[in-house]
A = this chain, B = another copy of it.
Amino acid sequence: MNDEASSSVTLYDVSRLCKVSIATVSRVINNSDKVKPDTRDRVREAMKQLGFRPNSAARALAGQQTRTMGVILPDISSGFYAHVLKGIDRALAEKGFHALTMFSHDLEDEKALTHRILDERRVDALILMNLELPDSFIEEIAESRTPLVLLDRPSSIRKISSVSINNEQGIKNAMAYLARECGYRNVGVISGPPGTYDADQRLMACHRFARRYGLCIPPGFIVNGSFDHDAAYAVMDSWIREGKKLPDAMIALNDVMAIGCWNACRHHNISVPEELGIIGFDDVEYARLLGLTTVHVPLVEMGIKAAELAIAACDQVSPARMIMMDTELMIRSTCRRREDAPPARKKKEKK
């Protein structure tokens, strides 16, 4: 295998070795068209012998496709995106595609990046994951010939596919669990920054399903965090200091804030889940380690779906699709049935 060191072996070399035209070799590379099985094998053999690999730039130039997908993520270097990226990469690799990964610092940066990538024809499709991208921008680049897939941000634009989290379903399950299985009567909510897609959706769902399941959200116990640990800690801490009567449980709209709550409780010797139940959202890596009850978001699977949509979109023919991923409630140790609770309805206690 691989006689020639690693200098460029070209189509032409292969064609000479087995005395066919470069067109034929090209055909067997793209294992398309009809090449006589006999010649095909001969060519394959020669390619192997010479260690031939098609030059990707030449293919891109001549064939108008790069077999590369652009992936633009916001600059939050967390495990969250790593998981999505892993899913994307896995699905791409399976189809012989690659991921050109970029992290954006801010919105302007992201826009510039996007335009550049698009104009330079570096990619066959683009996967964008940024909740804050304004519609106007999305519409603008939707004009481009390059197909787009939006992650965690459904779009109303027809041409654009998207993969997002079924926040409603996630909150619904969480609320149902808190009410029915744990017998909680009232829950506090720590939300994310208003205006963020996920935060707004989850918060709305909280209201809706709290009502549906007969949970009360006491006024004053619904606050906006900023999706980060310290803000949530501060809120919880101040409530405790002020001696407010806490609700039965807190639902934090992401795990980091849930842990912020929890840490504040720990600091004040409020025991979880005995005195206060805590439930998060996302199921980040360490949620399992800590035993945080939370709503699992299938990040890897979202990545896979996004990549599949992106690949499909390259055909131009397949219509855009909007996919919504269901979440899964991860019952761990930060919520527990209250002794004074009325008997659970329907489902039995799990685990």
A positions within 8 Å CB-CB of B: 5-8, 51, 53-58, 60-61, 66, 68, 71, 75, 77-79, 81-83, 85-86, 89-90, 93, 98-103, 113, 116, 118-122, 143-145, 229, 256, 259-260, 263, 284-286, 289-291, 300
A229 to B288, CA, bound (A): 10
- CB within 8 Å for A143 and B102 given contacts A77-B83, A120-B56, A289-B263: no
**Copy number of this protein in the oligomer?**
2
B89 touches A103 (CB 8 A): yes
A78 touches B285 (CB 8 A): yes
A75 touches B86 (CB 8 A): yes
B98 touches A6 (CB 8 A): no
The listed residue (B54, B78, B86, B103) touching A79 by CB distance below 8 A is: B78
The listed residue (B8, B79, B85) touching A101 by CB distance below 8 A is: B85
Q: Which residues of B are found within 8 Å of A285, using beta-carbon distances?
A: 78-79, 286
A57 touches B121 (CB 8 A): yes
- CB within 8 Å for A82 and B77 given contacts A6-B118, A119-B53: yes
Q: How far is the CB of A226 from chain B (nearest CB, A)?
A: 15
A289 touches B57 (CB 8 A): no
Q: Which residues of B are found within 8 Å of A57, using beta-carbon distances?
A: 57-58, 60-61, 66, 121
Which B residue sits closest to A66, measured CB to CB? Answer: B57
Q: How far is the CB of A101 from chain B (nearest CB, A)?
A: 4
The listed residue (B75, B89, B90, B100) touching A98 by CB distance below 8 A is: B100
Q: Which residues of B are found within 8 Å of A83, using beta-carbon distances?
A: 77
A121 touches B82 (CB 8 A): no
B143 touches A5 (CB 8 A): yes
Q: Which residues of B are found within 8 Å of A82, using beta-carbon distances?
A: 77-79, 81-82, 85
Q: How far is the CB of A252 from chain B (nearest CB, A)?
A: 13
- CB within 8 Å for A89 and B102 given contacts A263-B289, A286-B259: yes
Q: Which residues of B are found within 8 Å of A263, using beta-carbon distances?
A: 289-291
The listed residue (B54, B75, B122, B290) touching A56 by CB distance below 8 A is: B122
Additional pairs, 10, CB under 8 Å, beyond known A77-B86, A263-B291: A54-B120, A56-B122, A77-B300, A78-B79, A79-B285, A90-B103, A93-B103, A98-B100, A99-B100, A290-B290
- CB within 8 Å for A89 and B118 given contacts A79-B79, A286-B259: no
Q: Which residues of B are found within 8 Å of A101, using beta-carbon distances?
A: 71, 85, 89, 99-101
Mind listing 11 A-B residue pairs with CB under 8 Å? A5-B143, A6-B119, A6-B143, A54-B120, A55-B120, A57-B66, A58-B61, A81-B82, A99-B100, A99-B101, A259-B286
Q: How far is the CB of A140 from chain B (nearest CB, A)?
A: 10
Q: Which residues of B are found within 8 Å of A145, using beta-carbon distances?
A: 6-7
Q: Which residues of B are found within 8 Å of A113, using beta-carbon distances?
A: 93
Q: Which residues of B are found within 8 Å of A7, using beta-carbon distances?
A: 145
Q: Which residues of B are found within 8 Å of A102, using beta-carbon distances?
A: 89, 93, 98-99
